[in-house]
Structure 1
Amino acid sequence: MIPVGVFRDQSVAVFGLGGSGFITAQALVAGGASVYVWDDNEHAREKARAAGLRIENLASVDWRGFSALVLSPGVPLTHPAPHWTVVKAREAGVEVIGDIELFCRERRRIAPDAPLIAITGTNGKSTTTALIAHLFATLGFDVQIGGNIGTPILALEPPSSERVHVVECSSYQIDLAPSLDPTVGVLLNVTPDHLDRHGTMENYAAIKARLVSAADHAVIGVDDAFCAAIAKKLRAEGHDVIGVSAAGMLEGDGVVFEGGALYWRGGRRLDLIADLSGVGSLRGAHNGQNAAASVAVLHAIGLDGAGLAKGLRSFAGLAHRMEEVGKYGKALLVNDSKATNADAAEKALLSFDNIFWILGGRAKQGGIESLKPLFGKIAKGYLIGEASHDFAKTIGDAFPVAFCQTLENALPLAARDAIESARAEPVVLLSPACASFDQFPDFEKRGDRFCEIARALIKAY
């Protein structure tokens, strides 16, 4: 854990006692702050009380005594309306920040030169975060990985000049980190998501842009219009920007993914970095962009060479993101539970053919309309969860579907259909294009259940 000393001998309010909030409160106490915590969930309060934290109903305290409100990233800051704690804090002139901001301030206080790599994007950020950390580790660095990828940032080891922190940042976390200033900031892409929390695409993109705007070096994917505009603006302002592309959209120097390989492009010259052919964990153009961004990060801080190619080939991949669980007869079973929207599911559909597709859950805005051009790759669909009937209407007669209700029904049926089909190299793919919350608490639990069923099927085959 990182003791946060920037609020020593000051009073701080913490709202939200989930994974990051609980650790945040403990880190502030360890740093010498007087911390008052609250959560609307009684179980969370009891856990905090058992850990010795001071429980205080923040609805009935004098907010003028607080130096800051540390807000859980899952709590609305602006949209659809500011949370009541945010209203009270602003009325009292109290700043509202998050755990990423606390880390940044502590880093500046104790180790301002400590390497910090921060990654964001609508899709691909977890894979890229894991890959960057893996590359640093293969080169012998002391690496800490956390943030939105799973481990709260303040649960990591403290920053030092000999230690690299690789941190995934959601838009919610960036919005609560006004002084986020990484050594290298990575912005992969911006597509519609979380508009209920940010209001408009323009506001959402502007929040994402903050991460790279204050970075010493900015690595930006330029394959969508929002990110291309952000890269162009930062270059015009004199920022150090390395562009990355998997769609031939790069203007100027940078890293490109073409024909299954990564190249450094300088002027008209292409220098091979690594051939990714046969690297299953980095299958598809979207992973080509993720890999391009990862090597661009190391290039930005002066690390190049053969070690990068070796590190890319040894990357095991990320759980729940195009995770190859195993073979059931001739069928490959793939867990892509992290595909919680259509844009993420598109990446998986583009990466395979002869797909027996398990989809559904709680639909995001737009459903699967944008995936219609890829319906020709689908052998059959297996619908689960709340979105089943709406998705069936979108699919129409493009491919046959089965209404399965649950994953437990869908996976055995899809596996049987796949091995009984005449199709070569069939793929049973869970890529739901939906949130999991109708049937599972999170996409991890959904993916874990897929893997559990898949391994039982494989064992019994």
Structure 2
Amino acid sequence: MIAATGFAKRKVAVFGLGTSGLATLRALEAGGATVLAWDDSEAKRAEAAAAGFALAEIDGWDWTAIAALVLSPGVPLTHPEPHPAARAAQAAGVEIIGDIELFQRAVTASGTGARIVAITGTNGKSTTTALIGHMIRRCGGEAQVGGNIGKAVLELEAPKSTTVYVIEVSSYQIDLAPGLAPNIAILLNITPDHIDRHGSLAHYAAVKARLFDRQGAGDTAIIGVDDVLSKDICTGVSARRAARVVPISVGKSLGRGVYAIDGVLYDNAGTQAVKAGDLKEMRTLAGAHNWQNAAAAYATGRALGYTREKIFAAFESFPGLAHRMEIVAERDGMRFVNDSKATNADAASKALAAYRNIYWIAGGKAKEGGIESLAPLFPHIARAYLIGEAAESFAHTLDGKVAYRQCGTLAAAVEAATQDATADDADLRVVLLSPACASFDQFRNFEERGDQFRREVQRALAVTGGAAA
């Protein structure tokens, strides 16, 4: 655990008692602060009380005695309107911060020289964070991975001189971390998202851009330039001439930066462009979206001083993230991919674009727009297996374009897809769970759906003979 420094013998209010909120309470108490804790959720308050924390309703907080309000990133700070706790703090002139800010202050105060790699972006940040953590460890470094992925950032181990913190940060977390100053800051991309919490796409992008505000000499800014907003941010950060800027791209060559063309990664961040390696050979980094993730990780590895050879060796052993194009089994030219996290058509498009000859399992609780936007990728699909509430509407969209079966359940879909893929003599057949739907009609969450997919794959392979690789 990282003790939150700077508030010893002072009173700090914490609103929002989820995983990061409870970690914040522990970190503040370890740093000698007196905490006031509250949450609008009765269940969360009960959990905090069971963990031994004293609760105090916000109506009774004396703001004149409070040094700071630590707000959960899930609580509105500005839009659609500030939460009453935030509004009260603003009226009293009390600073409002989040756990990422406490983390940054603690690392700085430690004087250890521990480094921080911070990753943000609308898409791909979790995979990139996990890949960078894996790469650092494989290259002999000491990585602590957390933030918006895995462990709450204050639950990570205390800083040492050898520590490299690899943290995923959302726009909400950046908004609450005015002092965040990563040694390596990464912005992958910006597409419309979270507009309800930021008011406009322009404000959303402006919050993302703050990741680079406190970087200086010796720091590195790695920025995707394949969308207009991120490209504009890259131009602005470059103009400040504070940190070293490394643009990254997929599909176009850059006069300066790191880029992938047809799956081959090129490094042009130095004096001349060199071929760094072939990403098409990376089973767990399939698809253009993963090539962007790999470009960012590669640029990070080079900034940390790792050789190209060590970086690509680490990429080859990357296991991927659970439920995100996760390869769960392979046998006799069949590959079984768990992409249960793809809960809408845009997310499913990444997996459908990455493969050919797909036996696609789709369906669940449909999102607005269904799967009509996936029509350009229909030629990649050998057959579809439809499940859940969306089966009928998906069948209507696929009718006359893609062969399909209405299977109803995930178990039936896996069995049918495995049988059909087994009968196919293509070199590679991909049985893909990428539902393009929420899971709530048949499962508690996408994790439960993905876990069942794994079990059904093993069952189906046992029936067809032999064990999976």
TM-score (norm 2): 0.89
Distance 1:92-1:157 versus aligned 2 partners, 3 A rule: same
**Alignment partner, residue 200 of structure 1:** 200
Q: CA deviation at 1:385?
A: 4.6
| CA distance in 2: counterparts of 1:159 and 1:443, whole angstroms | 34
**Alignment partner, residue 34 of structure 1:** 34
Matches within 5 A, 1:56-67: 56-67=56-67
- Does the aligned pair in 2 maintain the 1:114–1:162 contact within 8 Å? yes
**Alignment partner, residue 246 of structure 1:** 250
Residues 207-216 or 110-119, more deviating: 207-216
- Does the aligned pair in 1 maintain the 2:251–2:262 contact within 8 Å? no
Which letter maps to 1:101?
E
Q: CA deviation at 1:67?
A: 1.9
Distance 1:158-1:338 versus aligned 2 partners, 3 A rule: same
Q: Work out which of the residue numbers 286, 291, 306 in structure 1 matches 2:289.
A: 286
| CA distance in 2: counterparts of 1:101 and 1:212, whole angstroms | 14
Matches within 5 A, 1:34-183: 34-111=34-111, 113-183=113-183
Distance 1:360-1:37 versus aligned 2 partners, 3 A rule: farther
Q: CA deviation at 1:409?
A: 4.3
**Alignment partner, residue 467 of structure 2:** none
> 1:210 aligned to 2:210?
yes
RMSD: 2.5
Which letter maps to 1:9?
K
Stretches of structure 1 lacking an aligned partner (at least 5 in a row): none
| CA distance in 1: counterparts of 2:333 and 2:370, whole angstroms | 31
Matches within 5 A, 1:191-340: 191-215=191-215, 216-239=219-242, 240-248=244-252, 250=254, 252-265=255-268, 269-327=272-330, 331-340=334-343
- Does the aligned pair in 1 maintain the 2:246–2:269 contact within 8 Å? no
Q: Work out which of the residue numbers 429, 434, 439 in structure 1 matches 2:432.
A: 429
Stretches of structure 2 lacking an aligned partner (at least 5 in a row): 465-469
| CA distance in 1: counterparts of 2:307 and 2:368, whole angstroms | 41
Residues 289-298 or 44-53, more deviating: 44-53
- Does the aligned pair in 2 maintain the 1:325–1:455 contact within 8 Å? no
| CA distance in 1: counterparts of 2:438 and 2:190, whole angstroms | 18
| CA distance in 1: counterparts of 2:68 and 2:399, whole angstroms | 53
Residues 21-30 or 261-270, more deviating: 261-270
- Does the aligned pair in 1 maintain the 2:5–2:102 contact within 8 Å? no
Q: CA deviation at 1:267?
A: 7.7
- Does the aligned pair in 1 maintain the 2:5–2:105 contact within 8 Å? no
Matches within 5 A, 1:405-416: 405-416=408-419
Residues 409-418 or 206-215, more deviating: 409-418
Distance 1:139-1:459 versus aligned 2 partners, 3 A rule: same
> 1:381 aligned to 2:384?
yes
Identity level (%): 51
Q: CA deviation at 1:388?
A: 4.8
Q: CA deviation at 1:176?
A: 1.8
| CA distance in 1: counterparts of 2:357 and 2:147, whole angstroms | 36
Distance 1:99-1:365 versus aligned 2 partners, 3 A rule: farther
| CA distance in 2: counterparts of 1:256 and 1:214, whole angstroms | 26
Distance 1:159-1:450 versus aligned 2 partners, 3 A rule: same
| CA distance in 1: counterparts of 2:79 and 2:398, whole angstroms | 33
| CA distance in 2: counterparts of 1:226 and 1:439, whole angstroms | 38
| CA distance in 2: counterparts of 1:438 and 1:78, whole angstroms | 33
Which letter maps to 1:248?
K
Per-residue CA deviations over 1:407-438 (Å, capped at 9, x if unaligned) read 34433333334334576633221123344455
| CA distance in 2: counterparts of 1:294 and 1:80, whole angstroms | 35
Per-residue CA deviations over 1:355-386 (Å, capped at 9, x if unaligned) read 22223445556554432211221233334455
- Does the aligned pair in 2 maintain the 1:276–1:282 contact within 8 Å? yes
| CA distance in 1: counterparts of 2:171 and 2:162, whole angstroms | 28
Q: CA deviation at 1:296?
A: 0.4
| CA distance in 1: counterparts of 2:229 and 2:393, whole angstroms | 30
| CA distance in 2: counterparts of 1:192 and 1:382, whole angstroms | 30
Q: CA deviation at 1:61?
A: 2.9
Which letter maps to 2:303?
A
Distance 1:28-1:311 versus aligned 2 partners, 3 A rule: same
Structure 1 SS opposite 2:321: coil
How many residues in Structure 1 have an aligned counterpart in Structure 2? 460
Which letter maps to 1:245?
S
Residues 437-446 or 239-248, more deviating: 437-446
- Does the aligned pair in 2 maintain the 1:222–1:249 contact within 8 Å? no
Dislocated runs of 4+, deviation >6 Å = none
